[in-house]
Structure 1
């Protein structure tokens, strides 16, 4: 049972509630481009997960069969409680090393790039975490936690983390001592020096108190959200590649072969001395901090929002049908989604070539639809063609109406 799939509608309902809370309190915790960028990385991550979920499941199942020291029963409530707590402990160390080692930070940094903090930030997830994250959950397999229990508690852990991404809930008294809360997780998302690399727990903050990584949110040090090497882009593909690209460039420029290798596994931010001297990276002064933003007209905002909604619909379809689709169909779905989100990112950055690329994307839906039907990606016959043709025509009309705003703002 895919708990995340069932939870998606509630995520969007709660985001709408938070927007109403913004309006009621006369504050602004959302910016359209930032929120869409966060949700785009989430949609891309979910779509990627349809192709890569086997990595974690296969390695876990293999370890459970060949390395476990016993077998626990899924019929025992105590096994579920034990697994829920143990999963969060494993998550703590994955999360902590995800901040402390370059190669793991390259994957996890996506979640921290937003310079806003709201429920859409919770949906901002990596598409490359599957490469190494499975290693940290192998102790659960060794101890004999059944696969079904592992999958469910993993989903529950992720679902819990959604609600703590809000600025509308202040400190919660005694609850702060045991569980992760909005307050102590806000501190985790800060780029202020006092908060850096703190509060790693997913559900339980007890691990941070036990292992010395806890930091309370302080009124004297208001949180500044984001990362110290700003993304400065609304593109979900670049969001996933930014830090990998920096590490690859540093490895290429390093003179020492040993440095070329070890840079990937050193503490986050470590760079070879010769590279740091020749290619310094300036860190922004938080006293002068300004959020990345690109002005968009109302018509652009409406057009981009509607296009993003169409991609959410496609992503929901892929999630719902994922288990019944062939690998080829899933790859096509991923390419379709990734390219579309890339183009939307270009549009939100208002680049001069955005409108031409968007016309190309719209027209490509027609041959992609034909290929999709041949692969069984869209199994509703002529109705699918009617839907895609309607989408292409409405999108072309909408883009034509908004074209002047794209051109004018891009040229200014």
Structure 2
């Protein structure tokens, strides 16, 4: 059962409730562009997962089949309890090393790039974590945890983590000693030096207390959210590539072959001495920190929000049916989603080419559906191409209306 698919409506319902709480309490924990960027990264991640999930499942199943030390039954309650705790233990080390090694941080950093902290941040997930993430859960396969149990407790672990991404819930007393809570997870998303690289657990905070990585949220040290090298973009593709690009540039400029190789696996932030000297990296001062933002008119904001809603609907549909597709239709579907989310990101950044890119995106909608049917062999409802054509036409009319209303050139 795909628990994440069934949870999607509840995610958005809780986000709506949090928005109401913002208004009621006079807080401003949401900004449209930041929230859309987080949600875009989440949609891209789930779509990418249809292509990459097989790696983790296949390697886990092979390890379980050939290396399992014990035979565990899916009918036994203790197996499920054991697996739930064991998964969180493995998650702790996956998460911790995701902060402590350059190449692993390159994947995980996506989740930390938002400079706001709200429930949309929980959905901001990486599309490249599959490269190394599967390794950390192989001990569960060797112990004998059946694949069905592994996949289920993994989904439950991820679902638990959703609710802790909020600023509206204070400390929870004794609960803070055992479980991950909004308070101790706010610490995890901070860029304050005292808070950085702390509180790695997914469900249980006990691992952090045991292994010396726990830090309490302090009243005298308000959390500043984000990363020390800001993304400064609303582009979900660049969000996934930013740290890889920085590492590649440093490796390319390093004079030592050994440095070119080891930079990927060194501690996060490590740079070759000669590269750091020639290409210093300036990090913002927290005392003068300002969140990244691009002014955008109300009409453009509404347009971006409505266009993104279309991708949420299509992405949810892909999540429901895509598990049974072959690789080619999945690649076509992923490409359509990735290009569209990229175009929305450029629109939010008010790029000079955003309007032309948006027109191109709309014109490619029907050909993309045709490619899915003709080359991908996917049988779609007869009304689907017509509905997409009408949507594209209405969007083009909306673009024309925006241009006429503004009567101003787009800023670069």
TM-score by length of 2: 0.98
SS at match of 2:200: coil
Unaligned runs of 5+ in 2: none
What is the rounded CA distance, in whole Å, between the counterparts of 2:233 and 2:92 in structure 1?
Answer: 29
**1:88-145: CA deviations, max 9, x gaps?**
0000000000000000000000000000000000000000000000000000000000
> Which residue does the alignment assign to 1:243?
243
Asked if the contact 1:30/1:118 (under 8 Å) is kept, the reply is: yes
> Which residue does the alignment assign to 2:190?
190
The alpha carbon displacement at 1:338 in A equals 0.1
The alpha carbon displacement at 1:323 in A equals 2.2
Asked if the contact 2:87/2:137 (under 8 Å) is kept, the reply is: yes
What is the rounded CA distance, in whole Å, between the counterparts of 2:278 and 2:249 in structure 1?
Answer: 12
Asked if the contact 1:69/1:144 (under 8 Å) is kept, the reply is: yes
Compared CA separation, residues 47 and 405, structure 1 to 2 (3 A): farther
Unaligned runs of 5+ in 1: none
> Which residue does the alignment assign to 1:279?
279
What is the rounded CA distance, in whole Å, between the counterparts of 1:405 and 1:88 in structure 2?
Answer: 53
**1:214-250: CA deviations, max 9, x gaps?**
0000010000000000000000000000000000000
Q: Cα RMSD over matched residues?
A: 1.2
> Which residue does the alignment assign to 2:354?
354
What is the rounded CA distance, in whole Å, between the counterparts of 1:315 and 1:217 in structure 2?
Answer: 36
Is residue 2:166 matched to residue 1:162? Answer: no
Is residue 2:411 matched to residue 1:411? Answer: yes
> Which residue does the alignment assign to 1:16?
16
The alpha carbon displacement at 1:411 in A equals 3.0
Asked if the contact 1:30/1:116 (under 8 Å) is kept, the reply is: yes
Compared CA separation, residues 339 and 311, structure 1 to 2 (3 A): same
What does 1:292-371 align with in structure 2 at a 5 Å threshold? 292-371=292-371
TM-score by length of 1: 0.98
The alpha carbon displacement at 1:381 in A equals 3.8
Compared CA separation, residues 321 and 406, structure 1 to 2 (3 A): farther
What is the rounded CA distance, in whole Å, between the counterparts of 1:219 and 1:137 in structure 2?
Answer: 36
> Which residue does the alignment assign to 1:55?
55
The alpha carbon displacement at 1:372 in A equals 1.4
What is the rounded CA distance, in whole Å, between the counterparts of 2:104 and 2:12 in structure 1?
Answer: 29
The alpha carbon displacement at 1:407 in A equals 7.4
Compared CA separation, residues 153 and 64, structure 1 to 2 (3 A): same
Is residue 2:120 matched to residue 1:120? Answer: yes
What is the rounded CA distance, in whole Å, between the counterparts of 2:381 and 2:175 in structure 1?
Answer: 53
The alpha carbon displacement at 1:405 in A equals 6.9
